[in-house]
Structure 1
Amino acid sequence: MIHVNIPPIDSEEPQHSAGIRVGKDLLKATKNFTEESPATSWWYVISTFLFMMAALAVAGIVEFWPIRFIFSVLGGLLIVRSFITYHDYLHGSILHHSRIAFWLFYTFGALVLTPPRSWLESHNYHHGHVGQISTIVAGTFPVISTKMWKESSRWQRLVYRIQRHPLVVLFSYPLVFLINITLIPLLKNPIKHFDSLISLIVHFGLITLLWLSGGFNLAFFVILLPMTIASTLGCYLFFAQHSFRRMQIVSPESWNYYRAALESSSYMRMNRIMQWFTGNIGYHHIHHLNVRIPFYRLPEVMDKVPELQAPITTTLSPSDIINCFRSALWDEDKQRMVSYKEAREIEEDKYL
């Protein structure tokens, strides 16, 4: 299981002067929502996995390519929802005592190039460093300040731009999931990350089997296209919910777990269909506040805890997507995210 350093919730912390719960008191308010219903969890897991397998089966069996395409896209969206259940299992919020769930999710993780060991390490780092200046790319996208940008060499700037470029998100299937999450950890420590080798064998073994038995089209519609869709959407959600115009970067002296959850994690407002496919991960500020809350209870938390009802909000609209990618650097003076162009203009104004 993933072990995120969540502060104990039974210690005392003063309330906000206006009577609003903050810090540990706010975390305490979410405690009851961590109670899982195993029957509900299994219902969501089984139905999601069956829908996913059925969609991919239709994409593989039907000959009429428009139908194959539709079900392949549907399969990709269902991989995203399946991944959220896998994500919650590794957080220990659902089915963490079930051996059946263990084998189901670890098999799924191998198939979609997210071997548990490397993914847990990177995701654990992510939860412990959200909202901080960092050049590290393990489990997160780097964020540096305008001052650091000014002092960077051309090569360092190029690398930073590449790491945060939209094409990295678009091609996250090979770049993020294959290379960064699976291959690099295996090359660095083959013994520790033996499950990465298993993942590579399982994933590419299935592609090879499909290709040999039904040709490229079968492998494309059943694996390659759905994985591309799922990887791109999943990677963008991860990027956008911690890289947006109104997010806050907190100094190491002022950083704490609660501020990172509420000020450096967004609530992504979606329609009900996308909310279902993305497993409520849009309620990201609540997830970061308490990772033990099952994904299907996140809307309930927002509905019943007033302090969580006015989060920093993003959407999947084209303008918000553009703004997320433009929000590239943290300006300490303005205390907000700025674009590369804004950073250059700010620097030029200082010399006028």
Structure 2
Amino acid sequence: MKNVIKSDFVLTPYMKSNDLLAAYQILNTVVPYVLLWFLAVKAAAISVWFLPPIIILMTLFSIRCFSLMHDCGHYSLFSSKKVNRCVGFILGILNAIPQYPWSRDHAFHHKTNGNWEQYRGVADFISTEEFSKLNSSDQRFYELLRHPLMAFPGGFFYLALQPRLVLIMGIYDFVVELFTCLKNNPGMSLSEIVSAHKSKHWQTATEFWDLLFNNICVISSVIILSNLMGAAFFLSIYLSVLTFAAVIFIWVFFVQHIFEDSYAHKTEGWDYLTGAIEGSSYLELPPIFKWFTADIGYHNIHHLSERIPNYNLEACHHKNIHLLSNIKTLRMGDMLACSKFILWDGRSSRLVSIESFRQVAQSSALDSNMVS
């Protein structure tokens, strides 16, 4: 980007939250999602063949729940920080993910977008230099783990298992430290041990309590609804919806930052504004998918200011369109092509495919042989 600064963009008028519109968005998302569960029970009593379209709709509403939870995490959906926290927590229960810890991790992504020494994307990509040091089997394994189809087991783990495992591992670490402290220093009080404990699974006490209460609510809901609907019926639908929704989250987030010529800089010389505009794509979606994703396709605008609520993103995009000539426009058909850019070349500040990296390496080797 040349000769463009953040103050050139008209952003402030679009940062204003509309509580009435936000409440309407919550109602037109959560209420249909709940009603679809009742419809699924009634439909299953007639024929299981009625269930697939219902599951598809539930998945789409789950995606919208996640997108609205995302806005709550940025304190942009409602004008009140407390309301955003409460509504975000509820939406986190519906998606089986603790909203506050997730939003803290997501905030780090916003602060470092385009700085590939600090943040390595949705799948923890490695550099071409690191990749070259792997043996052939590890290289194949790396490539396999980042195949687009791995979003299915990865999505299931991300929503269904990871929040539960994080809590278990964190509590286990604390219990081990508790007994170790009491053994080495019997005079230590419980409050002293708690205050001195630094968990690698959460950063603050607020994150822990959000994680704990989310797990209590999610697990309790699963037990209650399994008893009401039947465990096999409920879990088969619930886990399918979670998995499919997570897959779409991952794919959408992937193409919003991983694409050819995406801004992928080192820490030195990294620029926040360039990262927002050239390190984020504009994902052009059909109207129905724009609604279900709460306009998150206007991702460059979202990264310019995360305080702009989803219902103002499109208007802000059109207002500043004359400054967005460098944005990458992608469509649904481009998603698969983006999946090959899974290495970061720090020397050229580019994302590259494994194939292109190997071609360059082979070419360099041939040149070296010819010189020698």
TM-score (norm 2): 0.79
Q: CA RMSD in A?
A: 2.7
Q: Which has the higher helix share?
A: 2
Matches within 5 A, 1:140-151: 140-151=122-133
Describe how 1:163-242 pairs up with structure 2 within 5 A: 164-181=146-163, 183-184=165-166, 187-188=169-170, 189=199, 192-220=207-235, 222-242=237-257
**1:34 alignment counterpart:** 15
CA contact (8 A) 2:266 2:346 kept: no
Whole-Å separation in 2 of the counterparts to 1:227 and 1:294: 25
- Structure 1 residues 187-237: Cα deviation after superposition (integer angstroms, max 9, x where no partner): 233765243233333323333333333324531464222212211111211
CA distance 1:151–1:172, change in 2 (3 Å):
closer
Gaps of 5+ in 1: 1-14
Paired position in structure 2 for 1:311: 327
Q: Could you tell me the TM-score, scaled by structure 1's length?
A: 0.83
Further displaced range: 233-242 or 195-204: 195-204
- The alignment partner of 1:142 has SS state of coil
Task: Give the secondary-structure state (helix, strand or coil) at the position aligned to 1:330.
Answer: strand
- 2:5 counterpart residue number: 23
Check conservation: 1:245, 1:327, Cα contact below 8 A: yes
Quote the residue 1:251 is aligned against. Answer: 266
Deviates more, 1:125-134 or 1:270-279: 125-134
Tell me the equivalent position of 1:269: 284
Counterpart contact for 2:265–2:350, Cα < 8 Å: no
Deviation sequence 1:114-147 (CA, Å, 0-9, x none) = 212320221122112222224867x843233323
| Residue aligning to 1:123 | 106
Aligned-pair identity in percent equals: 25
1:73 and 2:23 equivalent? no
User: Which residue of structure 2 lines up, in the alignment, with residue 62 of structure 1?
Assistant: 43
Q: Deviations over 1:22-81 (max 9, x none)?
A: 232245x21111012211111112211112212232123322223222112101101111
Instruction: Call closer, same or farther: CA 1:36–1:103 in 2, change over 3 Å.
Output: closer
Preserved CA contact (<8 Å) 2:99 2:210: yes
Give the equivalent residue in structure 1 for 2:340: 326
Q: Is this contact kept in 1: 2:67–2:294, CA < 8 A?
A: yes
User: Could you tell me which residue of structure 1 aligns to residue 68 of structure 2?
Assistant: 85
Tell me whether 300-309 or 156-165 shows the greater mean CA deviation: 156-165
Between the aligned partners of 1:40 and 1:143, the Cα distance in structure 2 is: 38
Contact 2:160 2:242 in 1 (8 A): no
* Structure of larger gyration radius: 2
Larger RCO, structure (CA 8 Å, separation 6 or more)? 2
